[in-house]
Amino acid sequence: METERPQPQGGFKPIYLIRGLPGHPLHPPLTDAAIGAYTAVTILAVLHMLGVAEENTATAWWLTLVIAQVLSALAAVTGFADWLQISFGTRLWRTATAHFVAMVLTSAVFGLTIFLGHADYADGEISGVPFLLTLIGFGMLTLGGWLGGTIVFVHGMRVLGLAKEPAATAVSPVPTPEEEAAEN
């Protein structure tokens, strides 16, 4: 007589390395880090233009810009993995695609700023075009962040809605079957 094997009670799946766990996606914390870094970039550029520690702010501005771009690339990978899970043509897909386009364009503007601003980094002086691109990039980042917030807070993407989930299982690094089912 053969006994029935117990079904797994949740567990690790390779996709979790890119998308994160159910209820704990990777994309939002990576976007928070990138947005924080780009905000610091903008503040440093403005402080530089106001004459505050000009050489130091120019150096910090460019180095932080490079760090922000790396963080942004990591956020893009995780966001793209999430975007691939959305049904084509839905309202959520349209909003997520607008967010995706806005963020790709934002990354391109900041990438151009890195390229054009390298001489400014070397000279310790932020010139007009890189400064203007920093402000434009930050404005675009704000729009992209607004659209990203809409994906979560209006459309509810990757929100599990398990209000009665016990705290110990809600914060567990191993997803429960209920969490996995709620994400699908």
Domain membership flag for residue 139: yes
Quote the domain boundaries for residue 33.
Answer: 19-183
Predicted local confidence at residue 173, as pLDDT: 87
Question: Do 42 and 91 touch, CB atoms closer than 8 A?
Answer: no
From residue 20, give the alpha-carbon distance in Å to each of 15, 114, 124: 7, 30, 40
Residue 175 φ/ψ region, left for φ over 0, alpha for ψ in the -120 to 50 degree band, beta for the rest: beta
114-136 confidence digits (pLDDT tens): 999 999 999 999 999 999 999 99
The upper half-sphere exposure of residue 124, i.e. CA atoms within 13 Å in the direction of its Cβ, equals: 6
Domain membership flag for residue 3: no
Domain membership flag for residue 145: yes
Domain membership flag for residue 85: yes
Number of domains in the chain: 1
Question: Do 23 and 176 touch, CB atoms closer than 8 A?
Answer: no
Q: How far apart are CA 113 and CA 90, in angstroms?
A: 34
DSSP secondary-structure letter at 60? H
Predicted local confidence at residue 55, as pLDDT: 87
Predicted local confidence at residue 5, as pLDDT: 42
Predicted local confidence at residue 11, as pLDDT: 64
pLDDT tens series, the chain, 184 aa:
454 544 445 567 888 899 999 999 999 999 999 999 999 999 999 999 999 988 899 999 999 999 999 999 999 999 999 999 999 999 999 999 999 999 999 999 999 999 999 999 999 999 999 999 999 999 999 999 999 999 999 999 999 999 999 999 899 888 888 898 998 7
Task: Locate all alpha helices (DSSP H) within the chain, ordered by sequence.
Answer: 16-19, 27-49, 54-83, 91-123, 128-153, 167-170, 177-183
Domain membership flag for residue 7: no
